[in-house]
Amino acid sequence: MNVDATHTIALDKAHHVHPQSNLRQHAENGPTMITHGKGVYVYDDQGNEIMDGFSGLGCMSLGYHNERLANAAVRQMNTLPFAPTFYNRSHPRVAELCGRLTKLAPGDMTRALIQCSGSEANDTAIKLLWYTNTAKGQPERRKVIGRIRGYHGNTVATASLSGQPHMHAKFGLPLPEFKHTELPNYYRFHIDGETEEEFSARMAKSFEDLILAEGPDTIAAFFAEPAISGGGALMPPKGYWEEMQAVIRKYNITFLVDEVVTGFGRTGNRWGSETWNLKPDMVTCAKALSAAFFPVSALMFRDDFYADMMKNSDEMGTFGHGYTYAGHPVGAAVSLEALDIYDEIDLVGHVRKVSKGFLEKCYAMQDHPLVAEVRGVGLFCGFELMKDVKTREPFDPSWKVGELVQNFAHDRGLYLRAIGDRMSFMPPLIINDDEIEIATERFKGALDDAWAVVRGKI
């Protein structure tokens, strides 16, 4: 290790507070210091080459080196590096981005709010629901339903909405307005003999029971990812979305679809809503919107929501919401360039082409003694690790089997993410067939390494 690397690691350990990290472990071991990247690879301060099997945090759609995106940022910085969008001021790039996104979005979206992160977009959606329900004369509609193990962000409201226990404990969350319906993990939670369709109907019945228990007239919205990312790349079981959307329509509940991870090609369509035939009332996106080259997100909705916003704005004299960097001209310019690139290289078509081999190689790992189930779509795949496949007996949590696989994968030069004893595998969307071969071989090797440790405990 050179002197500079030693110095920066020491600085990081002493001063940098790491989100979603084990702070004690970080204090003892320090970080993996990534210094640069190219294509689907990143490199650490030791010169190790690591293939990114998780797209950074599900966002590096075009990989780690793209001159067009970098040049788009430089051009905008040299032209107009910042412009606020408060007080009826605007700039060309954000106007173009809003127009383009509303045309691309699933559903009949006409308006867009450009924010800085997926958390901000979802948090803003919650505020707008409360705001517009007040305009409708329905201020009691404040409860928002998410799903256990769903993930929608890290603000106070979106962490409450997310069904992640570690994000609630010790923070005094969730807030009382936020409720959670069941996790649709068919393998883990189905009743013996129950088909996927029957399981989905049971999930919808549980959702409806929650609505009735809380009072349908108190529910503002249901938030959901088309496929659950933060809960471990969990694909919806057969019939799930048909059943759930029937309940949503029955009680006239606003349906916000969180496309932060699934937007712009991850599932083999531009939107996860297309993949599973979802009919959203509101949509959020982020991550691949700028290919992660700039922090930017969007909330999109219909004109009827905007009419209620205008009503409140008329009464108050202003729309009392906003962030300093929302609609940032550099973020808008980079996002527009990313959308151009996606169209020019037919990124969705590429994902469809390479996903066949990707999923075949993933499904082949279901025969591994650690793996109980594999489900995926496009370049998005989840692996359920289980002690006993037939009885569905999980591993002792203290064994941290998922973390073990994750760490062995890193040692072999592949970055994966463990969510408990589920593995999430979602490489950059530009990955090619040869790189998929390398990535899946390293994944299989990490499973073998972990099995060599675990089998002695069983």
Separation between Cα atoms, residue 361 and residue 452, nearest integer Å? 21
Separation between Cα atoms, residue 444 and residue 422, nearest integer Å? 15
Same domain, 255 and 306: yes
Which of 300, 316, 344 represents a domain boundary (last residue)? 344
Same domain, 200 and 59: no
β-bridge mates for residue 424, sequence order: 382, 417
Residue pair 259/283 in contact by the 8 Å Cβ criterion: yes
Same domain, 45 and 134: no
Give me the domain span that covers residue 430.
32-65+346-454
Task: Tell me what pLDDT residue 4 has.
Answer: 75
Would you give the end-to-end CA distance of the chain in angstroms? 39
Q: Which helix (H) or strand (E) holds 280?
A: none
In a domain, 19, yes or no: no
Question: Residue 199's domain is classified under what CATH number?
Answer: 3.40.640.10
Give buried/exposed letters for 339-378 (b at 16+ CB in 10 A, else e): bebbeeeebbebbbebbeebbebbeebeebebbbbbbbbb
Residue pair 124/322 in contact by the 8 Å Cβ criterion: no
In a domain, 3, yes or no: no
In a domain, 8, yes or no: no
- Give the total number of structural domains in the chain: 2
CA 23 from chain centre, in angstroms, equals: 23
Q: What is the pTM of this model?
A: 0.95
AA letter at 47? G
In a domain, 24, yes or no: no
Q: How many C-beta atoms surround the C-beta of residue 59 within 10 A?
A: 22
Which of 344, 370, 402 represents a domain boundary (last residue)? 344
Same domain, 379 and 441: yes
Question: Residue 442's domain is classified under what CATH number?
Answer: 3.90.1150.10
Same domain, 187 and 266: yes
β-bridge mates for residue 284, sequence order: 258, 299
Phi-psi region of 137 (alpha: psi -120 to 50; beta: other; left: phi over 0): left
In a domain, 290, yes or no: yes
Tokens of 126: 């919650």
Residue pair 228/380 in contact by the 8 Å Cβ criterion: no
Same domain, 261 and 404: no
Tokens of 162: 């997310």
Same domain, 195 and 332: yes
In a domain, 267, yes or no: yes
AA letter at 273? S
Tokens of 215: 């009072």
In a domain, 14, yes or no: no
In a domain, 246, yes or no: yes
pLDDT tens over the chain, length 458 residues:
444 778 889 998 889 888 888 888 888 888 999 999 999 999 999 999 999 999 999 999 999 999 999 999 999 999 999 999 999 999 999 999 999 999 999 999 999 999 999 999 999 999 999 999 999 999 999 999 999 999 999 999 999 999 999 999 999 999 999 999 999 999 999 999 999 999 999 999 999 999 999 999 999 999 999 999 999 999 999 999 999 999 999 999 999 999 999 999 999 999 999 999 999 999 999 999 999 999 999 999 999 999 999 999 999 999 999 999 999 999 999 999 999 999 999 999 999 999 999 999 999 999 999 999 999 999 999 999 999 999 999 999 999 999 999 999 999 999 999 999 999 999 999 999 999 999 999 999 999 999 999 998 88
Same domain, 132 and 224: yes
Radius of gyration of the chain (CA): 22
Task: Tell me what pLDDT residue 23 has.
Answer: 87
Which of 307, 327, 344 represents a domain boundary (last residue)? 344
Same domain, 291 and 171: yes
Residue pair 234/183 in contact by the 8 Å Cβ criterion: yes
Same domain, 97 and 179: yes
Same domain, 88 and 59: no
Tokens of 327: 């609609």
C-alpha distances (whole Å) from 334 to each of 67, 73, 325, 430 are 11, 6, 15, 18
- Looking from the CA of 273 toward its CB, the CA atoms found within 13 Å total 25
Tokens of 281: 């009332």
Task: Tell me what pLDDT residue 1 has.
Answer: 42
Same domain, 231 and 98: yes
